[in-house]
Amino acid sequence: MTAAEIREATLEQLLETRRIMLSTRWKLKLRKATKKESEEDGMTLLQVQHAILELQNKKLADIRDKLVANEKALGEGIDSLKKSLKTIENIRVAVAAIGQFLQIVGRVVKLLVRA
């Protein structure tokens, strides 16, 4: 894949993740979550949004090498995240999968640091 294709695939997954995290189905599952899990969900959603903005605003030339260097990890992360989000049974597990994908994205663009 080219750097542009890698960035596009990563952005598509982040946008889909945001869509799912804002869905009614997700919010219904979130009602059963603990306060800590709800807070984790909010922080993760904020990080997803930040990652989207960072990838959209960076010039491809500035992140090309990092995209190519992390192509395999990003591809595997996208596949893993798709599986986790397909059946939202446990918010904690889904948020953990999103967090793992964000760690990979963080190798390409600087993301918010969690407290």
Query: Quick check: is 32 in a domain?
Result: yes
Query: Quick check: is 112 in a domain?
Result: no
The number of folded domains in the chain is 1
pLDDT of amino acid 90: 76
Query: Quick check: is 81 in a domain?
Result: yes
pLDDT of amino acid 42: 93
- Residue 65: domain span: 3-105
pLDDT of amino acid 85: 87
Distance in angstroms (rounded) separating the CA atoms of residues 40 and 33: 10
Query: Quick check: is 14 in a domain?
Result: yes
| Number of other residues whose CB lies within 10 A of the CB of residue 90 | 14
Closest CA to 111 of 61, 58, 48, 38: 48
Closest CA to 105 of 53, 59, 61: 53
Whether 14 contacts 48, CB under 8 Å = yes
pLDDT of amino acid 115: 57
pLDDT of amino acid 114: 64
pLDDT of amino acid 92: 82
Distance in angstroms (rounded) separating the CA atoms of residues 97 and 82: 9
* pTM higher than 0.75: yes
Opening angle at CA 22, ends 90 and 101, nearest 5: 60
Query: Quick check: is 113 in a domain?
Result: no
Q: What is the dihedral of CA 95, 37, 22, 106, to 10 degrees?
A: -40
Query: Quick check: is 110 in a domain?
Result: no
Query: Quick check: is 111 in a domain?
Result: no
The low-confidence residues of the chain, meaning pLDDT below 70, are 113-115
